[in-house]
Amino acid sequence: MHLSRVVEPFIRRCIVPQHDPGGQLRETDASANGPAIQRFELLAALGDSIREVNDPSELAYAAAELLGRYFNVSRAGYGTIDIERETISIERDWNAPGVKSLAGTLHFRDYGSYIEDLKRGETVIFEDAETDPRTRDRVDALKAISARSIINLPVTEHGGVVALFYLNNATPRRWSAEDVALVSDVADRTRTAIERLRAERALWESAERLGFLDRLGRESAVARNADAVMAITTRLLGEHLRVSICAYADMEPDEDHFTIRGDWSAPGSPSIVGYYSLADFGRKAVGNLRNNRPLIINNNLVEIEPEAAKTFQDIGITATICMPLVKQGRLTALMAIHDRQPRIWSQRELALLAEVTERSWAHVERVRSEEAARASEERLRLATDAAAIGTWDYDPVTDVLRWDDKCKALFGLPPEAEVTYEGAFLAGLHPEDRRRADEAVRQAIEPGGSSRYDIEYRTIGLQDGKERWIAATGDAIFEEGRAVRFIGIVIDITARKRVERHLQIINATAAAVAAELDVGRIVQTVTDTGVELTGAQFGAFFYNVVDEKGDSYMLYTLSGAPRSAFENFPMPRNTAVFEPTFRGTGVVRSDDILQDPRYGKNAPRKGMPEGHLPVRSYLAVPVISRSGEVLGGLFFGHSDTGIFGAEHEAALLGLAGHAATAIDNSRLFGALQSLNATLEQRVVEAVAERGKAEEHLRQAQKMEAVGQLTGGIAHDFNNMLAVIIGGLNLVQRKLRNGDTNVNSFVEGAIDGAQRAAELTKRLLAFSRQQPLAPKRMNPNRLVAGMGELLRRTLGETIQIETVLAAGLWHIEADASQLESTLLNLCVNARDAMPGGGKLTIETSNAHVDDRYAVANGIAAGQYVLLAVTDTGLGMTPDVMSRAFDPFFTTKPVGKGTGLGLSQVYGFVRQSGGTVKIYSEPGIGTTLKIYLPRSNGGEVQDDPIATDDAAQGKATEVVMVVEDEDRVRSMAAEALRELGYSVLEMRGPREALDAINAGKVPSLLFTDVVMPEMSGRELVDRVKLIQPALKVLYTTGYTRNAIVHNGTLDFGTELLSKPYTIDELADKVRKVLDRS
């Protein structure tokens, strides 16, 4: 049976010739004969397309249409995949009537998770997106693109997925293995054909590109300047790409303005040569070109802002590719192709323009370099003649040396002198430089040597005997590993070396005098340096001063001559030779002062006075301060004529400047010393005056804060005093009536007093005035020891968890205050969890960096972190911002003083740390305490406390010093009750008198703050009499007498007021028993 196709594009229909029962030949539809014939017919149609279609995108569309019509689906297509971005790019797809195209870029994740299967190279098939687990949550998105059922067949290359054939159907559909195999077969054939077409096109385009570049190279090679190169380039490129205009431009240094210096334009297109601003062409042009990206516009009327599009349209441009040339990070030039009509630029056109731009500008730079080289050679020839540069040429093989006349002169030889390596070069070198110069030559010309010669050396003229400094540079030329020629130049650098030496001397002198404050030593150093710089035989510095009578006189410093040389000569001031120096109007230099008309008052001149130093060469420079005052003059002389030159004059001017600065600084230092006596008073007055205006504002703010604080204190203290006074009044009344049943009232008064005492301690803690007794301790041990206390305090509804870090660092802190702080935080946490919850106490080591330290007012370094976390109500940001304010509380009235967290904050800051709050309403709160790590020392354990008050003995005498009568009486009576003998003293002087009279107690128990003198001063005086006397201080507020930086002075014992009798007993016993 023979098959024939009816050529109806992409219609699944096959006509087969067959004989009927009557023997007649008829054609019948072969589609009824089965799927195999249908698939064969499809592949045959695909083969025709592959043979006839030359465009890869058209072939992909033809294959998609064949599959779409064959399977009668909603959509079929071919796209390229970017696995990294998980996207597919579709140039064109086939769609059934009423189905929208997906041309563009789509993200796989928008339609499910099956991209993971495609990444592995697996074919993705699902019959119904609603039931497939990979697409159930994206079914609406798939329905929207008519893709409820799909086949996605990946195309792989070199082990990676690069493309995808896909079929989409708007309704559920079952796909057979034969369907998938057919799609795979079509995909493979189409992919192979597309790659072949692309390879063929690439070869054709490459051949076309190479041919064009070859022609461009040949025609531009004859150009001798940059404009000619670019004229040829723009013409050939414009004609090759069939554009309207091709142009090039140079950028200004501001990277905005540019000049189009030349262009080529097709017939009917205008020239665009002119001066432009890049900003006028829009933001896209500025952003792309300045960042070394090409500007590509297919249609400026729709792609850029209207104002920028108008700039293009005004010069006849609609489509553009502009290529930037960036050198050393700066936009330096542009090259562009333009079209009058909208145009979709291809990658081929972009790549060709980029290559032509790079080649053309390289050619331009080469041409410009050649032009510059020719000009440079001419300048070099002129400069060599003008700069007296000598040349040399040495043949190492024949040992023949050639010098030009300038080179001979630098070795002190006449032009006609014969030269050899040994007899002229080496012989003419300074003995100290001869070996070094010879070795440098050998290193340059020996095989494997550097070939480069660069050296400075001294010569001693072979005939004139003059010493010169020479700089020589050269290169050796090698053939077959052997130096055959050694050529170079020499130049006289004697003047430069002399200037360098002068600068070294001046800089050293400047450093010396800058560090000196004694004027005499300054001017002596400067004078000595001036003699060294100028070669003078003697020098002097004359001060320009006026005495009390208004007469001028000179003090002087000498160098190279004794002071006696000037003692018998007056100092003339008004002569023409001296006046310019002392008036500061200029430098005076004379080759022979005896022949200078400015020297001497009377004519004819008779020379120097008898006994005067033999001065012929003379040089004087004024020394002028920053204020313009002429401080004096530097004077130098020599017995020979013509010694001083312009270079000496310049060197002395620099030296005089350093001298003036040093003298100014010395005088300023003296003035500052004299001002110091009154400086403090003037500063105090100035600060007081400036602070008056600020004081009013500070006073108002202070009174507002004090009012808030005292209001809170008064409220709480009045409540406590009401209990104390009321209870004691009732006790008084009942005792007066003979009723001794007063226990409850006494206990109430004591409770009120204890609460008042606790409030005072909290206030001191908040203000960081409480005296701390820090010791080195292990925080883990303290937290572990609080377990039972916390369980009793917090109750059964609170679950307590401790997370204690292993290897926790030690800290130095007041253990009782730290325990009180933790307990305070735990009670607050309990109150924040009215229905119960979890409380966590954590410890850890922490490092605070500089940034965190500055933000929190602490030092950077190692810290121990203690954190208390609850699962309670949490805090709002407003509450957190005020949490540490005194008397601020969110608890109901009567449930808290508002000083708890203030006390915590004060204690932590006083201990050198900080505390931070982290909270979220409804979640909970964490308070973190950072305390500095303690290095060194042993951990100190607290002594075991006893329940019984320690008793005293009658032989133990306690002297009580207290200016408050009632306090003194109470303390004395308590001590007697404890069994001690007591001496009561109303003040420090009475105590001193008693001790001087021989009443020496076992213990001095003294208040700190008293009117006559402080307790510290009393103890200091007593210790002079009784060094071994034991002392116990007591106070309600120390005023820094025995506490510094919040910590008790070493070895000091303190009992803070108010105190109980038990506390008094324990403290007195502890002090007395201490060895």
Using pLDDT thresholds of 50, 70 and 90, give the confidence band for residue 703.
low
Query: Which residue, 718, 734, 764, sits at the end of a domain?
Result: 764
Domain finish residue from 202, 234, 251: 202
Q: How far apart are CA 927 and CA 391, in angstroms?
A: 84
- Beta-bridged to residue 863, according to DSSP, are 846, 932
Asked if 511 and 546 count as a contact pair (C-beta separation under 8 A), the reply is no
| 320 or 23: which leads in pLDDT | 320
Whether the per-residue pLDDT at 692 is higher than 70: the answer is no
| Bigger pLDDT: 307 vs 893 | 307
Q: Are strands 552-553 and 467-479 parallel, antiparallel or unpaired?
A: unpaired
> Residue 7 domain-assigned?
no
**Beta pairing partners, 457:** 470
Give the Cα separation of 912 and 1046 in Å (integer): 10
Residue 561 covered by a domain: yes
pLDDT for position 188: 83
**Mean pLDDT within 862-887:** 88
- 405 phi/psi in degrees, rounded to 5: -60, -35
Task: Tell me the pLDDT band of 768, cut-offs 50, 70 and 90.
Answer: very low
Burial class (CB in 10 A: 0-12, 13-18, 19+), 1028: exposed
Helix, strand, coil content of the chain in percent (nearest 5): 45, 25, 30
Which range, of 119-123, 715-719, 981-985, averages the lowest pLDDT?
A: 715-719
Task: Say which amino acid occupies 739.
Answer: D
Check residue 835 and report its DSSP letter.
Answer: T
Query: Would you state the pLDDT for residue 691?
Result: 66
CB atoms within 10 A of CB 484: 14
> Looking at the predicted structure, is the pLDDT value of residue 939 above 90?
no
Examine the pLDDT at 290 and tell me if it is beyond 70.
yes
> What average pLDDT score do residues 72-89 get?
90
772 shares a domain with 752: no
At residue 63, the pLDDT reads 87
pLDDT value for 983: 93
How many domains is the chain partitioned into structurally? 6
Please say whether the beta carbons of 927 and 915 come within 8 A.
yes
The Cα–Cα gap between 890 and 283 comes to 57
Backbone angles phi, psi at 52, to 5 degrees: -95, -30
Tell me whether the omega of the peptide bond preceding residue 932 falls within 30 degrees of 0, making it cis. Answer: no
pLDDT at 170: 93
Q: Are 562 and 698 part of one and the same domain?
A: yes
CA–CA separation, 124 and 152 (whole Å): 5
Segment among 331-340, 357-366, 777-786, 968-977 with least mean pLDDT: 357-366
In whole angstroms, what is the distance from residue 402 CA to residue 418 CA? 9
CA 1045-1048-1052 angle, 5° bins: 155
Q: How far is CA 482 from CA 449, 453, 806, in A?
A: 10, 16, 75
Question: Is the pLDDT assigned to residue 5 strictly greater than 50?
Answer: no
The maximal CA–CA distance of the chain, rounded, in angstroms, is 164
Q: Looking at this protein, which amino acid is placed at residue 741?
A: N
| Predicted pLDDT of residue 243 | 92
Mean pLDDT of the chain: 81
Q: Does 1021 fall in a domain? A: yes
Q: Are the CB atoms for 625 and 660 separated by under 8 Å?
A: yes
- Structural domain includes residue 814: yes
Check pLDDT > 60 for residue 1040: no
Kind and range of the H or E run holding 41: helix 35-52
CA angle 350, 351, 352 (to 5 degrees): 95
- Answer yes or no: do 565 and 699 share one domain: yes
The answer to whether position 569 is within a domain reads yes
CA dihedral (431, 432, 434, 438) in degrees, to 10, reads 160
Q: What is the C-alpha separation between 620 and 540, in angstroms, rounded? A: 9
Higher pLDDT, 509 or 853: 853
Mean pLDDT for 472-478 is 91
Q: Which of 13-22, 330-339, 642-651, 815-824 has the lowest mean pLDDT?
A: 13-22
Region 54-65: what's the mean pLDDT?
83
Question: Domain check: are 799 and 924 in the same one?
Answer: yes
509-513, 595-599, 637-641, 948-952, range with the lowest pLDDT: 948-952
pTM above the 0.75 mark? no
Q: Is the pLDDT of residue 731 over 80?
A: no
- Return phi, psi of residue 974, to 5°: -65, -40
Tens digit of pLDDT for each residue in 225-280? 778 888 888 898 888 889 999 998 989 999 999 999 889 999 999 999 999 999 99
**Burial letters for 425-453: b for 16+ Cβ neighbours within 10 Å, e otherwise?**
beebbbeebbeebeebbeebbeeeeebeb
Picking from 147, 155, 149, the residue whose alpha carbon sits closest to that of residue 186 is 155
**Is residue 623 within 8 Å of 633, Cβ to Cβ?**
yes
DSSP calls for 411-455: TT--TT----IIIIIIHHB-HHHHHHHHHHHHHHHSTTS--EEEE
Write down the pLDDT at residue 369. 72
Residue 8's pLDDT is 43
Asked whether residue 751 falls in the same domain as residue 890, the answer is no
- 457 in the same domain as 472: yes
Owning domain of residue 799 = 767-932
pLDDT given for residue 280 in this prediction? 94
Cβ proximity of 443 and 450 under 8 Å: yes
pLDDT of residue 1036: 73
Asked if residue 361 and residue 325 are part of one domain, the reply reads yes
The model's confidence at residue 892, banded by pLDDT at 50, 70 and 90, is: low
Ranking 415-419, 681-685, 697-701, 731-735 by mean pLDDT, the lowest is 697-701
Domain membership of residue 112 (yes or no) is: yes
3-state secondary structure of 463: coil
Residues 6+ apart with CB under 8 A from 626: 660, 661, 664
| CATH value at residue 192 | 3.30.450.40
Q: pLDDT (tens digit, 9 = 90+) per residue, 384-403?
A: 666 668 889 999 989 999 99
Listed residues 372, 404, 430: the one ending a domain: 372
Domain CATH code at residue 1061: 3.40.50.2300
pLDDT tens digits, one per residue of 560-603: 888 777 777 666 555 777 778 878 888 889 888 888 877 765 44
Question: Is residue 961 domain-shared with residue 972, that is, in the same domain?
Answer: yes
What integer is the mean pLDDT of 489-495? 88
Identify the pLDDT of residue 993. Answer: 92
Q: Establish whether the linkage from the previous residue to 604 is cis, with ω within 30° of 0.
A: yes
Tell me the residue length of the chain: 1075
Range with lowest mean pLDDT among 452-461, 470-479, 506-515, 653-662: 506-515
Percent of the chain clearing pLDDT 90 (strictly above): 30
Determine the 3-state secondary structure of 590 from DSSP.
strand
Q: Averaged over 849-873, what is the pLDDT?
A: 91
If you average pLDDT over residues 887-896, what whole number do you get?
63
pLDDT above 70 as % of the chain: 81
**Full 3-state SS string of 274-313:** EEEEHHHHCHHHHHHHHCCCCEEECCHHHHCCHHHHHHHH
| Bridge partners, residue 149, by sequence | 169
pLDDT digits (tens, 9 = 90+) for 991-1035: 999 999 989 899 999 988 888 888 889 999 999 988 989 999 888
Q: pLDDT tier at 470 (50, 70, 90 boundaries)?
A: very high
Please report how the helices 519-534 and 494-514 are oriented relative to each other, as an axis angle in degrees rounded to 10: 170
Let me know whether 715 and 626 are in one domain. yes
Same domain for 246 and 353?
yes
Long-range contacts formed by 264-268: CB under 8 A, 24+ apart: 264/231, 264/234, 264/235, 264/237, 264/238, 264/239, 265/238, 266/238, 266/242, 268/244, 268/340
Place of tokens 């003979």: 738
Specify whether 133 is located in the same domain as 155.
yes
Tell me: the pLDDT tens digits for 1018-1029?
999 999 988 989
How much is the average pLDDT of 4-29?
A: 42
Q: Do 314 and 397 belong to one domain?
A: no
Angle, helix 646-736 to helix 494-514, in steps of 10 degrees? 30
- Rounded Cα–Cα distance for residues 593 and 559 (Å): 20
- Domain assignment present for residue 209? The answer is no
- Does residue 498 belong to any structural domain of this protein? no
